[in-house]
Amino acid sequence: MAINTEKNSYTVIFAIIMVIVVGSVLAFLASGLSTKIKENERFEKQQNILYAMGVNENTPDSGVNFIPTTVVEDQFKDQVKEQYVWVNGELKTDDQAYLIDLKKELKVLKEGGEARLPIFMGERDGQEVYVLPMYGKGLWDAIWGFMAVDKDMVVQGVYFDHKGETAGRGAIIKLRFFMDDFTGESLLEGGSYNGIAVSKTNNDPLNNDKEDNEVDAIAGATITGNGVSAMIKETLKAYRPFLETIRNN
Amino acid sequence: MAILSKKDANLILDPLADNNPITIQVLGICSALAITAELKASLVMAVSVIFVMGVGNVVISLLRNVIPSKIRIIAQLIVVATLVIVVDQVLKAFAYELSKTLSVFVGLIITNCIIMGRFEAFALGNGVWRSFLDGIGNALGYGVILVIIGFFRELLGSGTLFGIPVLGDPIAKTGLYSIGYENNGFMIIPPAALIVVGIIIWVQRSRNRALIEEA
């Protein structure tokens, strides 16, 4: 039996069937894979936090090497001594703190509400470090990361990531040579929390000068670089009350 | 070729050279400009498009007699979008690292005019096997150009291939850089891709004059 595919009723029925079929295939797929995807995302967050803390498999000349996902959960329990949330000027322990969505909390904070800001305490070379999550805007989309600071407000390690920065340009913020430059830089300038700026004019491509609160920018990624500077500033603004409590005077 | 008849083999080979979607038909230029600053990104994009094109052409070819012509473009779009989401979700679950590299390009694959072009021009009027070959062939032709552009842009723009330095260290001035060579920052920005495509088109047409259109 030949079907008349030009009839309006046929078109409508075809469209309905197609939408139902495609919709159910996608829904089935999404629900079937969601546990696995959520697990991957959780592992990634743990890897990122540990990376900033210096727990990674980097060798002197390698790129960014996280610890394997098979051991990340145990390592995270082991290395992160305590997970806190900073609420209303008070530090509370919360062992699910790493699952907090910082983007939402920063929004709450902006609106003057009661934000829950996660903090992770660990150790590096025998001294306590605090890992703070960061969230900001790049050129095309979100950028985020983690920053480990010690009690002198000196950065002990960072990790940056991005959703959609340009490959070969803004996307470089997640490469090791860029992130490594932040280590050793101070968040304090004079007495104030100025953060670390990604600078096109610091004339210090090897980043030998750790006193200038600046790291060398990436060619062709001005806006992403500015986004990183702004993100660090925003994080400091949000976490300043907490940092004051741990800072060595 | 024993497995494919000559006619079928041409479906794969033609788009690689004399009927290349980028250099001859000038389709898919947008993604060729946007993502070729690095060789790795070019390769990932090429592989994803090969998958989506191959499967997409088969699906459209299977449905070619039941798709109402009035809404065929929408039906084609749904097929591409579905395939891309399936790829994205499966990668997220089983190859998380790769999926993060790919995430940027998902939208670009859906809008790739080569895909819609082949659905419309070929799969709607041809059998499943031939459509599959046509899809693979065109995606390969697209991928080859992408990889060539990515190779030159990454090499000349950053001095690396797949992120590995091949010309020495530009900051410590070793290798080529010790004799005064500099990376060309222009190569990293999209206009450079247009120039590389232009050069490829020039080389190709000067080798095969039959490809030059009448003015």
- What are the structural domain ranges in chain B? 27-207
B38/A163 touch (CB, cutoff 8 Å), yes or no:
no
**Could you tell me where the beta strands, DSSP code E, fall in A138-234?**
142-149, 155-162, 188-189, 192-193, 197-199, 214-216
Residue A219 exposed, middle or buried by CB count within 10 Å (0-12, 13-18, 19+): middle
The nearest alpha carbon in chain B to A161 belongs to: B100
Contact A63 B163 (CB under 8 A): yes
Task: Give me the pLDDT at residue B2, please.
Answer: 57
Phi, psi dihedral angles at B134 (to 5 degrees): -60, -40
Mean pLDDT of the B29-50 span: 83
B89 φ/ψ angles, rounded to the nearest 5 degrees: -65, -45
Verify whether the Cβ–Cβ distance B68 to A6 is below 8 Å.
yes
The per-residue pLDDT for range A11-49, each reduced to its tens digit, is 999 999 999 999 999 999 999 999 999 999 899 999 999
The predicted pLDDT at position A17 comes to 93
User: Is ipTM beyond 0.95?
Assistant: no
- Judge whether A75 and A67 are in contact, CB under 8 Å: yes
In sequence order, which ranges of chain B are alpha helices (DSSP H)? 6-13, 29-34, 39-63, 72-94, 96-102, 106-111, 113-121, 128-158, 190-207
Q: Residue A245, Cα to own-chain centre: how many angstroms?
A: 23
* Residue A81 to chain B, least CA–CA distance (Å): 27
CB A121 within 8 A of CB A135: no
Question: Residue A209: left (phi > 0), alpha (psi -120 to 50), or beta?
Answer: beta
pLDDT at position A148, please? Answer: 93
Average pLDDT over every residue of B139-166: 88
A51 vs B contacts (CB less than 8 Å): none
C-alpha–C-alpha distance, residues A186 and A211, integer Å: 7
Asked if A168 lies within 8 A of B86 by C-beta distance, the reply is: no
Nearest to B185 by CA among B208, B146, B153: B153
A11/B96 Cβ within 8 A: no
Q: How many residues does chain A have?
A: 249
d(CA A55, CA B205) in angstroms, rounded, equals 54
pLDDT at B23: 82
Task: Report the residue of chain B nearest A41, measured CA to CA.
Answer: B96
Q: Do B70 and A6 touch (CB under 8 A)?
A: yes
Give the chain A residue nearest B189 (alpha carbons).
A220
Percentage with pLDDT > 90 across chain B: 18
Nearest CB to B66; choose among A5, A6, A206:
A5
Regarding predicted confidence, which is higher, B98 or A110?
A110
Over the stretch B41-93, which tens digit does the pLDDT of each residue have? 888 888 888 999 999 999 999 998 888 888 888 999 999 989 888 888 888 88
Residue A145 has pLDDT above 90, yes or no: yes
Q: Which residue of B has its CA nearest to A10?
A: B68
Query: Are A206 and B78 a contacting pair at CB < 8 A?
Result: no
C-beta atoms surrounding B14 within 10 Å: 16
Cross-chain CB nearest to B78 (options A18, A164, A166) = A18
